[in-house]
Amino acid sequence: MSIKNFTLTIFALLILGACSVDQEELEELFVELETSAESVEYGEGFTLTWNSNASQCYASGSFWFGEKPPSGSEDFLIKRGGDGTYILECRRNNEFANQALIVTVNKSVADHFLYLPAEEVNFSIEYAADEEVAITSVARGDFSGDLIPDVLIAVQIRKSSDHTLVDTMFLQSIGGPSPIITEIETSECSGASIMLPIDLNGDGPVDLITATSNLLGQTEQSNLCHFSGSATGLVFDNTFINNETNLDFDNARVITMGLVDRDNDLRPDLYLLTEEYEYWVQADGAPDYEEFSYDGTIISDLIVTSATVIDFDLDQNSDIVLAAYDDNNHGKFITVPRSGDGTNWAEALSYEAPLAKTLISFDYDQDTFLDMLVVGDESPSNDFNASNTSTFKIYEEDETNILDTERDISFTKQGSASLNQYIIITDYDQDGDGGDFLLTFNKFGNNTANFLVGEKQITENDDGTTSYSVTTYDDEELGVDNLPYDNAFTIFFDYNIDFDLDAIFIDDDETTNTLNFYIQENDSN
């Protein structure tokens, strides 16, 4: 080896030795994330503080997203109740570390109904001094096809002396950033007691069928009307469903209507029952009325008030269940088994039952079997002659039929006020319980409350079982503000899709004979 090469080798070794001596080991990668409070009351804020020796950090979780500096702090005012997860993940070269924490926002039932003051009346209907007015039906659906909730409201004006019909109006509010209320032009439709939203022609926007109730059909002409959904909302159109049957829209004698999956394609179809025939309209994009005869002896002397679909007798087959009452105002449940692609009236059965005006099937106890919610009054009533609501029950599936297990739901004004049948089952507080109940009070008696909340409660028992119950509150008990009227008809719908329930409050001002509509935003979320 030459002296020159030897010298270069020694020099290189010296350099490497110097580097190994001077290079310090990197500090272990760490992430520290802290909160000023693990639990806060609704309306209170908290602060997240973090520190890391990483080069990059990213936030994720319930209400925290995006790139963050390695060290810093951030203030939060969260309006959603429950547990929120906050995660900070940091990296340095190919090393990663993270930390997570949970902050709970304690949000009461009342905190979910924080309505901004009504700035003005959004719509008004005037009526004469010798007339009375009532909301006769409400339906919700995406009538414009923009994936934002809409609502249709049926209003009737009648003579106070004998309830003779004066006028029927259909008002719709299309959801969006600036909702308004408009009237649908139609002078041909008086059937405003039953409304059924369903997209029958398969074009996206939800259509709607409306009819006279079985009770009113005993004393006045029974009417059946069709509204087609469009980009601008519902349009009166009695032609978009082909009808080559005996069904007379002007005198349909409708007993009830419902949504029933006739062809087992997991899409509901239209089921319509009249005094003489059953009718089906399949939601297949080319809607046609199909007519079938049936033996309705079992309901011939009854007034039918509501219908739903549920496996009533627990035989693994769905039944059409009718709520009805007889001449003595005794309540009945009539079950009609589904058979093939229709019904089997030969096996229809009658059960003694509460006087019910509403039947709703839903999964109350989250066991995959449908249960049934029932609301009923002390005597048969309609929207112009309300009666005390005495029945508020849940029937759960058991061993024989759904009547085996009965759960009463109580509320403070039970027996002295009238609940309406237009119930919403929705998880308004987003706690994952499968749904709570929201009902409006009818104009009745001395009641001054507007609406009722039924909050589902889930309890995990020591033996590993789960118990379910419902706790109720009306808006007076909750102390809901900014409702400058008593006993207003309340329609809930999230028109701005911010995951809280906005509302239309409808106040009957009898001093001026004016029905006033107020759209009010919920500022809860």
> In the 3-class helix/strand/coil scheme, how is 49-95 assigned residue by residue?
EEEECCCEEEEEECCCCEEECCCEEEEECCCCCEEEEEEEEEEECCE
Task: Report the alpha-carbon distance of residue 289 to residue 54 in Å, rounded.
Answer: 68
Domain 29-106 and domain 110-520 have a common topology: no
Per-residue pLDDT of the chain (525 residues; tens, 9 = 90+): 444 444 444 444 444 454 444 446 778 999 999 999 999 999 999 999 999 999 999 999 999 999 999 999 999 999 999 999 999 999 999 999 999 999 999 999 999 999 999 989 999 999 999 999 999 999 999 999 999 999 999 999 999 999 999 999 999 999 999 999 999 999 889 999 999 999 999 899 999 999 999 998 888 889 999 999 999 999 999 999 999 999 999 999 999 999 999 888 888 999 999 999 999 999 888 899 999 999 999 999 999 999 999 999 888 888 999 999 999 999 999 999 988 788 999 999 999 999 999 999 998 988 878 899 999 999 998 878 899 999 999 998 777 788 888 999 999 999 999 999 889 999 998 888 888 999 999 999 899 999 999 999 999 999 988 999 999 999 999 999 999 889 999 999 999 999 899 999 999 999 999 999 999 999 999
Q: Return the CATH architecture of domain 110-520.
A: 7 Propeller (2.130)
Angstrom CA distances, 338 to 271, 311, 315, 322, stand at 12, 9, 11, 13
Task: Report the alpha-carbon distance of residue 304 to residue 327 in Å, rounded.
Answer: 12
Q: Return the CATH architecture of domain 29-106.
A: Sandwich (2.60)
pTM of the predicted model as reported, rounded to 2 decimal places: 0.90
Question: Which contacts (CB < 8 Å, 24+ apart) does range 352-355 have?
Answer: 353/323, 353/403, 354/391, 354/393, 355/325, 355/329, 355/330, 355/331, 355/379, 355/380, 355/391
Q: Where are the domains of the chain?
A: 29-106, 110-520
